[in-house]
Chain A
Amino acid sequence: MKLRDRNLHALSFGAVTGPRMAIVVIDRSAESNIHGCLSSIGSQDHPELECLVLDLHNSGRAADAIATAFGGDQRFRVLGVNSEQSGPDALIAALHEIGSGFVSVVDADDSIFPGFVSAHLQTHLALPRNLSQTISPVEMVDDVARTLHSTGSLHDADEITDIGLRPSNRVLRLSTVSNDAFEQLSEGVALVPWSQIRWSGNSDHLSVFRASLLRALLVTPPTLPDMDALIQHLRLYCHLMTRTALIGVSMSRRSIAGEQQTLAQGLAPVLSETSLSPWEQAIEIGHQRQSYLLGELDRFAWMLGTRFWEALDAVSAIPLAERRNYYQCDKVAALFRDHAKKLLKEFGDDGFIDNIGRRFDKGRRLYIAMNAYNDTIPRQLMQYDDLSASIGRKND
């Protein structure tokens, strides 16, 4: 039997099939564009998908839309949200319901272009390394479909590196992605570096996640105020785990009315009403995020290894130039002191000394180390020069 090409479906005797994506639609209001959103999902050229609609207002509009536009299409279903469920809990429940390897969370005011699923899945399957998240820019339009914000600004940032895809004959190819389209995807794919996390808090990029990593992250989810904060958390942590690939072409559109335009500028910060100064807010947010990561040290240290410390720096969202000041805050030192024993146990003397020494001044190092060591604090820890200690240089 001669083999003329490597059609993997045929070579595997039909046992291996293409990937499937789940799309979770958050329908927040009775005025949403749910019909348009669902229509765009039904128009995807890649057929292997499932769609779950979180009907937050329980209006039944989504169910009606599915019945009328997609009557009998088993790929679409609605999950009702009971009044006692918090937003994040409802989203987590939905994420556990899906049976696909990939998932995207869209708003009912979003519409995805017909090649959205194909492009993201093909990118995932052809990246030089397996990443947990791909993102693509969202085209923002007003209520008369004028483009407000079609952004490629992340792609133009200095730190973004074009990486391309692996050779076409060495990867699974989706039949919905032509050779020319594959080459175009390859030319436009870039890698977002570890330290570049600000995009994760914005709504101008749409993510496609690997579902398995979301499940791993959601074993113990943090307490968050709303769904948007949870999505932001997942985007950030998926990025910290493996980095993110950016597809440099808009693959979706969001229609926003006047008062919602502010949402396009960024998701609400973790802190809502506050009288703190911007710097104090930044410390508070950084502290909250590092507190979560340190509280889950066992899990995240296993998954990340020595990159756990890079992740701690990145998750603080403190700019590199301000990080030394951040680590001289008493509140932050107290946080590390509380977890000092576990940090020492996990990373050993060398890892503990190096990473604490590079971040904290001598006084704070002693303060932290006293909670880690029962008797003698290693001399090496105190030998780091305050002036030369520099976090971020090694990481970036």
Chain B
Amino acid sequence: MTKPDINFVVINYNYGDYVGSAVDSILGQCHENFRCIVVDNDSQDESRAVLTKYENVDDRLSVRYFDKNMNQMGAFLSLMDELEGRYVSIVDADDLIFADYAAMHLEAHRLLADEVAFTSNNVVEIDSEGRALTSGFDPFLRGEADESVQTDRCKSPRHQRGNLGDAASSLHSSVTRLPADIQGWHWSPGTANVYRLDLMRAARPKTQFRSNFPYVAATDNYFACLTQAIGGSAKIALPLSAYRLHGRNRFSGTESLANFRASRPLGTWRSIARHRDITREVTARPVDFLRLAPGRFWAIMDAPARMRGNRREDYFENPHVIRILVQNYDTLTAALGQADVDDNLSVRMGPDVFEAFKAETASSRLGVKS
């Protein structure tokens, strides 16, 4: 089989009532060169009965069954190395993508002069029955584009745009690029993002900080935040997928509304914890990130703070973050030099907190030695 242009990964847990619709929407893509892996995370509902019907129906589709719930990130990490081709999209099992999703995203990636880490489309939020609630995710609508893409920057040969037909002109005027250092969350949730697979592999959490325990995380909280800082992203201001709100969503209770926190507190606290995982990963292997994005190490370190729209100091003064930095201080200084690390951390923590941090680092070393 030829390498796919795009991979789809569907990770299902107890969405037996919706996963069939998600898989059908992938199989119906007008861009046909894709591969799809569907994983069932040990669901306890009718999911397996639904997914059984998709086995052996299409060479591009494979279905796997896990015997324990690896959560979304854990399941994704377990099969990441099998994926081929350049792009990947993680499709939530309770969502669906429109027929031109793959074609539009692939064309958008090609349109951009500098390749971005991921593209994100606007979504239609729908209720449990599929009725439209919005035609845009509010954080996506809120963000202002910094740069418009001009059609004369398109690199694609004409024949590769054949699948889009008349929709191509809508796409060309709807793609805007977000620079790597943008503040806040500007993208749609989950089933709207098409990532460069190579950057995801390079940035993925490798550090075993939760041994023998499934990684509890949504993939976007980690990958969108981190790969944005590495390579920036682009928004496609057209609805290309549907985000379903059905009352069992982990993160959201209502559709997205302006200036209103629709997220559930538990979902938000989980997101904040996942952002600290970025700090843990980046400080555990700084050499990798120095190579991946030369000159941008500290901009990458600032990514979790930028994502929340908080002051940088609020993030770096957090005791959990300080603990991570204490643990990895020696690794950081070995890679960047002590002067660089101390200068940058003191700016971020403030003098008082930095002084306490240094003392704690020294104590920690003594503790290790004794």
State whether A5 touches B167 (Cβ < 8 A): yes
Complex interface: chain B residues within 8 A of A243 (CB): 258-259
Given contacts A1-B30, A13-B24, A130-B257, contact A125 B96 (CB under 8 A): no
Complex interface: chain A residues within 8 A of B257 (CB): 130-132, 210, 213, 241-242
Residues 3-23 of A, flagged 1 when their CB comes within 8 A of B and 0 if not, give: 111101011110111111000
A2 to B129, CA, bound (A): 28
- Name which of A129, A131, A171, A210 has the most chain B CB atoms within 10 A of its CB: A129
State whether A213 touches B132 (Cβ < 8 A): no
Given contacts A129-B138, A132-B257, A304-B260, contact A172 B124 (CB under 8 A): yes
Q: Does B98 contact A (CB under 8 A)?
A: yes
A4 to B98, CA, bound (A): 14
Chain B, residue nearest A310 (CB): B259
Complex interface: chain B residues within 8 A of A171 (CB): 135-136, 239
A124 to B165, CA, bound (A): 29
Given contacts A1-B30, A2-B165, A3-B164, contact A48 B258 (CB under 8 A): no
Chain A, residue nearest B268 (CB): A302
Complex interface: chain B residues within 8 A of A175 (CB): none
Complex interface: chain A residues within 8 A of B242 (CB): 12, 15-16
- B145-153, B186-194, B248-256 - interface stretch: B248-256
Residue of A1, A12, A19, A132 near B96 (CB, 8 A) is: A12
Residue of B127, B258, B265 near A130 (CB, 8 A) is: B258
A13 to B28, CA, bound (A): 8
A256 to B163, CA, bound (A): 58
Given contacts A126-B135, A172-B132, contact A305 B30 (CB under 8 A): no
Residue of A11, A17, A166 near B130 (CB, 8 A) is: A17
A285 to B257, CA, bound (A): 28
State whether A8 touches B260 (Cβ < 8 A): no
State whether B141 touches A130 (Cβ < 8 A): yes
Complex interface: chain A residues within 8 A of B256 (CB): 130
Given contacts A2-B165, A3-B166, contact A16 B258 (CB under 8 A): no
Q: Does A148 contact B (CB under 8 A)?
A: no
Given contacts A3-B30, A210-B255, contact A16 B132 (CB under 8 A): yes
Given contacts A3-B30, A13-B99, A213-B257, contact A8 B162 (CB under 8 A): no
A321 to B243, CA, bound (A): 45
Complex interface: chain A residues within 8 A of B30 (CB): 1-3
State whether A216 touches B163 (Cβ < 8 A): no
Q: Does B174 contact A (CB under 8 A)?
A: yes
Complex interface: chain A residues within 8 A of B100 (CB): 3, 6, 11
Number of interface residues of B (CB under 8 A): 47
State whether B165 touches A4 (Cβ < 8 A): yes
Q: Does A170 contact B (CB under 8 A)?
A: yes
State whether B166 touches A170 (Cβ < 8 A): no
Complex interface: chain A residues within 8 A of B237 (CB): 170
Nearest-neighbour CB distance to chain A for B68, whole angstroms, equals 31
Q: Does B122 contact A (CB under 8 A)?
A: yes
Q: Does A101 contact B (CB under 8 A)?
A: yes
State whether B134 touches A125 (Cβ < 8 A): yes
Q: Does A263 contact B (CB under 8 A)?
A: no
Nearest-neighbour CB distance to chain A for B267, whole angstroms, equals 12
Nearest-neighbour CB distance to chain B for A6, whole angstroms, equals 6
Interface residues of A in 203-262 (CB under 8 A from B): 210, 212-213, 216, 241-243
Q: Does B154 contact A (CB under 8 A)?
A: no
A213 to B126, CA, bound (A): 15
Q: Does A169 contact B (CB under 8 A)?
A: yes
Q: Does B131 contact A (CB under 8 A)?
A: yes
Interface residues of B in 24-57 (CB under 8 A from A): 24-25, 28, 30
Complex interface: chain B residues within 8 A of A166 (CB): 136, 141
Minimum-distance CB pairs A-B, first 9: A129-B258, A212-B254, A11-B98, A172-B135, A2-B165, A171-B135, A130-B138, A101-B133, A125-B135
Q: Jot down 9 A-B pairs with beta carbons below 8 A, ordered by A.
A: A1-B163, A11-B100, A124-B134, A130-B134, A130-B255, A131-B257, A131-B258, A212-B253, A242-B257
Using a CB–CB distance below 8 Å, which chain A residues touch chain B?
1-6, 8, 10-13, 15-20, 48, 100-101, 124-126, 128-132, 166, 169-172, 210, 212-213, 216, 241-243, 302-305, 307
Using a CB–CB distance below 8 Å, which chain B residues touch chain A?
21, 24-25, 28, 30, 96, 98-100, 122, 124, 126-127, 129-136, 138, 141-142, 162-167, 170, 174, 237-239, 242, 245, 253-261, 265
Question: Other than the known A3-B30, A302-B265, what 11 A-B pairs have Cβ atoms closer than 8 Å?
Answer: A2-B30, A6-B170, A101-B132, A101-B255, A129-B141, A131-B257, A171-B136, A213-B254, A241-B259, A243-B258, A305-B261
